[in-house]
Chain A
Amino acid sequence: MTTEVKAAPRRPAARVRRLIRGAQLELRMLAMLGILSLGLSLISPYFFTLSNILNLMDQSVITGIVSIGQTFVILIAGIDLSVGSLTGATGIVLGLSLQTLPLPLAIAVAIIAGGLAGFVNGYIITKGRVAAFIVTLGMMSVGRSMAYVLSGANSISQLPDELGDLASATVFGIPLNFVVLVVLYAIAWYYLTFTKGGRTIYAIGSNAEAARTAGLRVEFYSILVYVISGALSAVAAVFLAARILSIDPIAATGLELDTIAAVVIGGASLFGGRGTIIGTFIGVVIMVLIRNGLNLLNVNPYWQGTAIGSIIVAAVLLERFLSAREGLARAGSEEG
């Protein structure tokens, strides 16, 4: 009020206000997250123990890594249903490679395999103009089938111990795999916010035609997001295999649904152009918390699916309700 008179302090204040307005969605998600953890800690004394928190971190790694790729894909108004089976298939590729190759090389082979599968997805979707839903549904089936074929339908175990270090090592007491997750999110955030490629991805999702007319490389980035998604599925497979030093062809079944749920809970629009990587991170943590909470509460596993499904839809409904006023203001200003 009185600060309005003074000119000097207005700018930073305005900047903060703008920042808050821009991050409103994330702040709301964060609040939801806070309420959720508070509730859980009240219900279960075990919730806020160190071992449970380490457990939560561990559980968010796989979904978290794959959700980054899923965010990229959803931002261009696509969808990647193949991430679960690609995680399974590239896990098998990793296991087989480790029988002859040293660890870093084997990891590289797995990531390249994942990237290649993603490229096939992106290429057919973009050049062949086939719906992403159909193409990745096909890849989902192919990927799982390849996992069985390559492994002979058996799990590959007794993987080298050095692989296990990826799961057990810590950095300043924090599990290495969680650190990797955070670093990947930081890179993704930087890429989406401050680079030409990142802004192009947003522009494609918002209006591909306008992006193309402005000279942006729409086709290249439309394929790239699927390559990233496929490659990250392989990265997730590495940490999945590291956890129990074994990989199974049915691993990561249903992961695509968890990642899509996390991205949507994180506020992204399935119509593209809207959503943030920070939102996705919060979405992942919420997903993990819900699962964790249901376990802590000893909810019958058969009922957990119903509970999770309902909570996802309710969370998104709540978000739509909260942002409805924002949306109305937006629609209103479009008037002639």
Chain B
Amino acid sequence: MTEAAGDTSVLALEARDVWKAFERTQALSGVAFALRRGEIHALVGANGAGKSTFSRIVSGHLAADRGDVRLFGEGVRFASARDAIRAGVTMVMQETSLAPDLSVLENIYLPEFGAPGRLSWKALAARAEALLDQFGQKGHLPLRRALRDLSASQRQMVEILKALALDAKVIIFDEPTASFSPNEVDRLFDVMRLLTQRGKSLVFVSHRLEEIFEITDRITVFREGAAVADGVPTSGMRPTELVRLMVGREIADIYARGVAGRGTASAAAAVLDVEHLAAGPRVKDVSFNVAAGEILGLAGLVGAGRSECVEAIFGLRRVERGKIRLAGAPFRPRAPIDAIRAGVAFVPEDRRRQGLVQDFTVRENLLLAHLGRRRGIGLGYDERRAEMEALLDELSLSPRILDDGILTLSGGMQQKVVLARWILMSPKLLILDEPTRGVDIGTRSTIYAMIRRLAQRGTGVLLVSSDFEEVIGVSDRIVVMSDGTDVTSIPSRLVDVEKLAMFAAPRSSAEATHFVLEELAARFGGVAYWISLEGQRLYCFDAVAAPDAPEIGFARGTFPEIAQSLIPCALERRSETFLAEPAGASVLVPLRGHRGHDLGHVGLTLPPAKALPDPSLVRRIALAGSAATTAQAVAGGR
């Protein structure tokens, strides 16, 4: 262990000519893979390409039919996951393999429960604290809490810590970021970099291209059970080429942008109108509307209350306060069937738990909502035959799969089936909650195209997604939610990923900035704001005004052109000293994240008559609180 951590010439893990078949399908046909010591190696491929099968073979969960796996040059053949762990290989599972009733601490050290001898709780707790500290997770995870009380992303973090606790030499991350918000992804990447500095070798399985390009050193691409690119340096690969390798064809623009009919929504009648909706602890006060033919993105971080909000609209959650109108008529569903009869469709977030009936065929899964809505005794499947076949064709699914079990399909195809189920209902409003989670890029573009076509036929679409790039790419307009309230409503052509991240930052983590604004407004008696300036436009993420503050022409959640604000000169010049205009005198302080990201400006505008303080004092206050916490909260802004 004395060799330099950066020595990447040593192969940590090498697999050659690995074969694996499941009854009818050949999952791997002669796959090769080489992981260097201290690198982060991306393993990518469409659904069904064999990534998971390969990862599970290497980590001892499955046995290969034949093939050669070497760990630091020595041939290994793991009989079980425990075998692999002992040899220094662990896998961070994508569908968490945790015990919900045990505490975080117990979950982290679960693999040690199998070891002989007594467990010392005290020693375990001390080790856990050290582990959290080491990876900068202190304070983020309550060790004594039962796992079931944690959020999805916290649980994923426990899963990761569990692997770290084993002190493995090779760690395979199988889509670790599926439930993570941008800042959590950043935190994970910090941990991963730390691990490589200590000489660990990491395999990173992911669907998210931007993450692959940000974190990995080399890329191996699987397609149909074979490696089509083998350890290509990430720096030498272009995203379009990677996509081509994955799906075997070119996909120019997966979001099918530029299709006619975008952004004309405001003229059409509202399909859905939500006013001051409150439902449960996560949804406090949400207002927005969706027009016929419009695709509205509901963006925000995990925990912002987006899923809970759409579940309330679909009748899965009780509405406590507020009004919902559907096509103009008051609407308050008590169960999903009320919403379905009223013309609402819902593709849920968790396909396995809420979407699929696992024991049913593809046909019955497709017709499940039809069955739900149908009155009468019989099934009425035949009435839907023609429609169903036309739809399958549109989704490029073969009608031959209709009588197969739903679980024989890949994740992407399953998602198409769930989507098709609702399209058959010809809904007025289609709600999609994270429709492309764990879905490969080829299938994603089909799903996006389908959503667009539906919108063109007049369906209002409400898209919930944590993937900001997807929200911007697919929606006409975006409503950002944070801490259970809507923060802004903005046309997607006016916004980018960084600004969405700043709008979406939960108040709890942007608290420091908010505190600074309050301090500035109170101390100097004006209006203080956190904005981002880009081109001719300003984006206001937060603003606090003292009682006698001047009017500045923008407020929290608005995004006017700079010329339309009442302090255009100060903004235009990003003036760092007070600049007097008719509306008042303004000063701006630029903010930077700990990795040098642009986090916008904090500004202060004082009434014209007021005596001006020293700008450096304003600057000191602005930077004091905001730098640390805000930077973390919206860091990356990837």
- Known A-B contacts A195-B379, A212-B335, A215-B372; the reply to A335 vs B356 at CB < 8 A is no
Contacting pair A336 B357 (CB below 8 A): no
Please give me the 4 A-B residue pairs with the lowest Cβ-Cβ distance, nearest first. Answer: A332-B22, A215-B372, A329-B23, A336-B52
Which residues of B from 318 to 368 have beta carbons under 8 Å from A?
A: 335-337, 340-341, 346, 348, 353-360, 364, 368
Picked from A195, A196, A207, A332, the residue with its CB within 8 Å of the CB of B27 is A332
Chain B residue nearest in CB terms to A218: B335
In the complex, 15 of the A-B residue pairs with CB atoms within 8 angstroms, ordered by the A residue number, are A196-B371, A196-B374, A196-B377, A196-B379, A199-B379, A203-B364, A206-B357, A207-B356, A211-B368, A212-B316, A332-B27, A333-B407, A335-B50, A336-B48, A336-B52
Residue-wise, chain A 219-234 has the 8 Å CB interface mask toward B (1 for contact) of 0000000000000000
Cα–Cα distance between A137 and B61 once the two chains are bound (Å):
40
Picked from A203, A214, A336, the residue with its CB within 8 Å of the CB of B421 is A214
**A143 CB to nearest B CB, Å:** 31
Contacting pair A214 B372 (CB below 8 A): yes
Chain B residue nearest in CB terms to A271: B359
- A-side residues, CB < 8 A to B, are 18, 194-197, 199-200, 202-203, 205-207, 209-217, 273-274, 325, 328-336
- Known A-B contacts A335-B53, A336-B411; the reply to A213 vs B22 at CB < 8 A is no
Residues in chain B near residue A217, CB distance under 8 A: 337, 372
Contacting pair A336 B51 (CB below 8 A): yes
Picked from A214, A332, A334, the residue with its CB within 8 Å of the CB of B371 is A214
Contacting pair A199 B407 (CB below 8 A): no
Residues in chain A near residue B360, CB distance under 8 A: 202-203, 206
Contacting pair A197 B377 (CB below 8 A): yes
Contacting pair A213 B354 (CB below 8 A): yes
Residues in chain B near residue A18, CB distance under 8 A: 403
- B-side residues, CB < 8 A to A, are 22-25, 27, 47-48, 50-53, 56, 314, 316, 335-337, 340-341, 346, 348, 353-360, 364, 368-369, 371-374, 376-379, 403, 405, 407-408, 410-411, 421
Residues in chain A near residue B336, CB distance under 8 A: 212-215
Residues in chain A near residue B337, CB distance under 8 A: 215-217
Contacting pair A206 B22 (CB below 8 A): no
Cα–Cα distance between A210 and B356 once the two chains are bound (Å):
6
Cα–Cα distance between A329 and B21 once the two chains are bound (Å):
10
Contacting pair A332 B23 (CB below 8 A): yes
Chain A residue nearest in CB terms to B425: A215
Cα–Cα distance between A331 and B53 once the two chains are bound (Å):
11
Residues in chain A near residue B48, CB distance under 8 A: 335-336
Cα–Cα distance between A210 and B52 once the two chains are bound (Å):
25
**A283 CB to nearest B CB, Å:** 19
Cα–Cα distance between A118 and B355 once the two chains are bound (Å):
30
Cα–Cα distance between A215 and B370 once the two chains are bound (Å):
9
Cα–Cα distance between A25 and B183 once the two chains are bound (Å):
51
Residues in chain A near residue B56, CB distance under 8 A: 335
Chain B residue nearest in CB terms to A215: B372
Contacting pair B359 A330 (CB below 8 A): no
- Known A-B contacts A209-B354, A210-B354; the reply to A196 vs B378 at CB < 8 A is yes
**B205 CB to nearest A CB, Å:** 9
Cα–Cα distance between A125 and B56 once the two chains are bound (Å):
40
Residues in chain A near residue B314, CB distance under 8 A: 213
Residues in chain B near residue A203, CB distance under 8 A: 357, 360, 364, 368, 371
**A273 CB to nearest B CB, Å:** 4
Picked from B25, B51, B316, B368, the residue with its CB within 8 Å of the CB of A332 is B25
